[in-house]
Amino acid sequence: MSAIKQGRVCLKIAGRDAGEKVVITKVVDENFVMVKSPKRKKERRCSIRHLEPTDVVVSS
């Protein structure tokens, strides 16, 4: 899935943080990524099945 890459802004569609926008900080493997959100201090591991990618990419 090429839309899942570092810096991509996504919308969480499942889980405790459903409806929240997050940024992918690291791709762990083919099923999981690390995400960062404004509400949480720490990065969290998230399944790519729980993410809906947007067209926005954050560059560092």
Q: For 34-52, how does the pLDDT look when each residue is reduced to its tens digit (9 = 90+)?
A: 999 999 889 999 999 999 9
- Could you give the domains of the chain? 8-57 (2.30.30.30)
Structure tokens at 11: 């919308």
Tokens 């991509």 belong to which residue? 8
Structure tokens at 54: 């947007």
CA 35 – CA 24 distance, rounded (Å) = 4
Q: For 25-36, how does the pLDDT look when each residue is reduced to its tens digit (9 = 90+)?
A: 999 999 999 999
Torsion of CA 25, 27, 21, 36, to 10 degrees: -40
Flag whether the pTM goes above 0.85.
yes
